[in-house]
Amino acid sequence: MPNSYCTLYIVRHGQTDWNIQGITQGETNIPLNSEGIKQARASRKNLKDIKFDAVFSSDLIRAKKTAEIITLEKQLAIETTHLLRERRYGKLDGKPYNMMKKYYDTWERLSKKERVNYRPYKGYETDEEVVNRFITFLREVAVGHCGKSVLVVTHGGLMRAFLNHISEETYLTGSVSNLAYIKLESDGVDFFIKEKYGISNQTNA
């Protein structure tokens, strides 16, 4: 691949107690649990041979701690940003996942075009809003890191919305596991998926 391309490793944070308890986290600042720390350490081993030139993370502690563990031996400063935060769920942040089920069921019945602007209630961040901030960030990073490798630690909601945007496949709730990652190459305009790990999908009919 030409040097005009940036290689991006987009990684979901490790497990938290709320993941186990089935609670919607959104922008609530929940730390990793002991299993999440173990997962991040395992990911560090898996990615140890990659020479990252820069590291970016959501400013939420579960993502930042994951980034710190993965890059522990690489002596890289971690730049945090709210642009990598999880989707805003508004009134359902901190509530059981099953309270979201009726909205997810509705989302699945919509066309791809309709899903983009689906806002089930006030305070919920739409797919379009999520994707716009995420892709704007990724494009700026890609342009600024041509020919380099960059680690981006973020959240499952962003990764699903992004994949749904650039793919013909459908990625549903639960399709992105803790420490799943997407390896991308980008010139700041287009994105080319090279590898996916810990991610499942449903092919559109």
Catalytic residues: 13, 86
| Long-range contacts formed by 173-178: CB under 8 A, 24+ apart | 173/97, 173/100, 173/104, 175/199, 175/200, 175/201, 175/202, 176/12, 177/12, 178/12, 178/13, 178/14, 178/15, 178/19, 178/36, 178/39
User: What are the tokens at 160?
Assistant: 């699903």
Q: Residue 65, SS3?
A: helix
Write the single-letter amino acid at 67. A
Q: Would you state the structure tokens that stand for residue 106, as one six-digit string?
A: 């509705």
